[in-house]
Amino acid sequence: MEDSQKLPLFHESGIYHFNDSNTVFIDPVRVLNRSYNRFTISPSTYYPRFFESRTLTPKNPISTTVSSSPTKRKRKKRKRSSKDSRPLNDREQIALQRHQELRPLLLKAHECLLKSNGLLDALRSLRSENVSHCLKEECEGSEQCFVELGQQSPDLVVTLNLRIRDSDKDLEDSPNVYCEQRSILPAFNNLVANDTEDDAVADILNNHYIMPRESCFYMSDLGQIRNLIPAHTDCGFNLIMVDPPWENASAHQKSRYPTLPNRYFLSLPIKQLTHTEGALVALWVTNREKLRSFVEKELFAAWGVSYAASFHWLKVKANGSLISDLDLFHHRPYESLILGYSPGKVKNSDNQTKFKPLKDDHVIMSIPGDYSRKPPIADLLQEYIPGVKPPRCVELFAREVMAGWVAWGNEPLHFQDSRYFVKK
């Protein structure tokens, strides 16, 4: 397909497929905005690192701490180079070999992007697009810390404001086709659902959170995750996305959310969350070799998941360049998504669950958003998700709520704060 045909599709869907490869570029803002009717996420709030010098940024500790001064950057680089001069240990050798094997695929993907002038122009124009950032009053006031609130005020309530379409009335004939419905529900340890086809607004204390159509959240600590297990496996999930709070040495990460030792993830009830017809499990991992070997040797086995493939998320800047040197040992400009299948109860005559094979050659490129925020890639996984259509999807350790999904974690409303949205 020619660029002239692909660009309009990209503007509509947020996804650009490069010819003859399993490489895509995605704009998370466009992808997510497909799920909202009355609100939009603006590029200036999704990409704070990209916009911070030019626009009003939300009063948000995240966006102010992301940029590091040139002196700090120099200090970091020096540290790394002195470390790099010592011989690599066994684990680092394995990590290097893994990187060397992946390198040609990533370079090829990046080359595709650099050759797509139309797409690069579209990325550059992100700055001028929708610079009407979030309403100032929405950005003032402090962001709510749900982790603390959950501990201090577990009985807090959420007021859910839904707009329900009156199916007897015609949209063109009557201006009052919607009626408002308000419910007051426990905010924690409770499944809160917007089961309408419109955006809903959830109010907690004085803050507003935008929920896309047909979405749910369950806000709790890991101790309560079992409440998500359905009574019948027919109501289980076909796609289980997991982005655990892995421990690492970064103080930066520690200031953003609490982390957990690996052993806690072994008991995630993946089997019990799986739909009768099986589930595709998609797990985000960092590049630490210790973590990769934990996932490959212990975690998937504990979950009863069979490894299928790894996809790679290559992070680029708005000018198309990589966010860091591809070969920088401790700061690779990519992360991986490890995919596996969790068998359901439906088996074929050989007592095997039938799943579509996956290959290791998928590269997803995007401009990274806020710290540790992953791009919305469900569209790219659709063809591999087993069972019912549309599939039932859950995200574990979520910080945002997506249309058609259940979001679980101790702060699933974090990026739903109205400060990240503008009214249409």
In the complex, the residues that contact ligand SAM under the rule CB under 6 A are 147, 221-222, 243, 245, 257-258, 260, 372-374, 397-399, 409-411
Neighbours of 54 (CB within 10 A): 10
Q: What is the DSSP letter of 397?
A: T
- Tell me the residue ranges of DSSP E strands in 229-387: 239-242, 279-285, 306-315, 334-342, 363-366
Q: Which is nearer to ligand SAM, 94 or 291 (CB)?
A: 291
Farthest CA pair distance, the chain: 75
Q: How far is the CB of 354 from ligand SAM (least distance, A)?
A: 29
Q: How far is the CB of 373 from ligand SAM (least distance, A)?
A: 4
Q: Which is nearer to ligand SAM, 105 or 239 (CB)?
A: 239
Q: How far is the CB of 342 from ligand SAM (least distance, A)?
A: 19
Q: Which is nearer to ligand SAM, 48 or 343 (CB)?
A: 48
Q: Which is nearer to ligand SAM, 255 or 321 (CB)?
A: 255
- In sequence order, what are the residues at sequence separation of 6 or more whose Cβ sits closer than 8 angstroms to the Cβ of residue 158? 184, 185, 186, 187, 192, 202, 203, 204
- In sequence order, what are the residues at sequence separation of 6 or more whose Cβ sits closer than 8 angstroms to the Cβ of residue 370? 46, 48, 49, 62, 63, 66, 415
Report H helices in 246-316.
251-254, 263-266, 270-273, 289-294, 300-303
Q: How far is the CB of 415 from ligand SAM (least distance, A)?
A: 6
Q: How far is the CB of 416 from ligand SAM (least distance, A)?
A: 11
Q: Which is nearer to ligand SAM, 222 or 279 (CB)?
A: 222
Please report which helix (H) or strand (E) contains residue 395, including its range: strand 393-396
Q: How far is the CB of 223 from ligand SAM (least distance, A)?
A: 7
Asked if residues 277 and 234 have their Cβ atoms less than 8 Å apart, the reply is no
- In sequence order, what are the residues at sequence separation of 6 or more whose Cβ sits closer than 8 angstroms to the Cβ of residue 24? 15, 16, 17, 18, 362, 363, 364, 365, 380
Q: Which is nearer to ligand SAM, 175 or 261 (CB)?
A: 261
The CA distance from 51 to 134, in Å, is: 13
What size, in residues, is the chain? 424
Q: Which is nearer to ligand SAM, 162 or 381 (CB)?
A: 381
The CA distance from 196 to 179, in Å, is: 12
Q: How far is the CB of 150 from ligand SAM (least distance, A)?
A: 9
Q: Which is nearer to ligand SAM, 31 or 222 (CB)?
A: 222
Q: How far is the CB of 395 from ligand SAM (least distance, A)?
A: 7
